[in-house]
Amino acid sequence: MIRPARASDRAAIWALLEPVFRAGDTYAVDPDISRDDALNMWIDAPKATFVAEHDGAIVGTYYIKTNQNGGGAHVCNCGYIVGPAARGQGIAKSMCLHSQEKALNLGYLSMQFNFVLESNADAVHLWTKLGFSIAGRLQKAFKHPQLGFVDALVMTKWLSREIP
């Protein structure tokens, strides 16, 4: 079940965010980010934040926000995290499909992932499988803690049935 995040979910969301941010190998977030700053970035600043529940436990989360203002405000951006014990069970896929529906409901026409690390092969594979295309490559844009400098991909998908 995917539902809007509630104030009471903050501890469970932090439990998902903290190990991912501390590892520093998939998100361009300071590995030393504080709990409050991370929760502000993930819950308070975006237009909406959701959680995925399984057997009463929060196993994943995503946010949706406007990617750019003005003439680019029809494009949204999302970030997704699935807890380690729940990976490989289709939760990221379910959240991505859910986010595309929610994006349209919020008035967005397109979705863009600004910084998908090429080294995150599972994410690149899933987003491609779900119809996202690689719009660009940012060479050596991320300093991975184990791999050194890796490329980041910009991935995009037109969501609306309307023809631009």
Domain coordinates of the chain in residue numbers? Answer: 2-158
pLDDT of residue 162: 67
DSSP the chain: -EEE--GGGHHHHHHHHHHHHHHTSSS-S-TT--HHHHHIIIIISSSEEEEEEETTEEEEEEEEEESSSGGGTTEEEEEEEE-GGGTTSSHHHHHHHHHHHHHHHTT--EEEEEEEETT-HHHHHHHHHTT-EEEEEEEEEEEETTTEEEEEEEEEEE--SS--
CATH topology for 2-158 is: Aminopeptidase (3.40.630)
The pTM of this model reads 0.93
pLDDT of residue 100: 97
Average pLDDT across each block of 10 residues of the chain; the chain has 164 residues. List them in order: 96 97 96 97 97 95 97 96 90 96 96 97 96 97 97 95 65
Using CA atoms in the order 5, 7, 9, 10, what is the torsion angle rounded to 10 degrees? 110
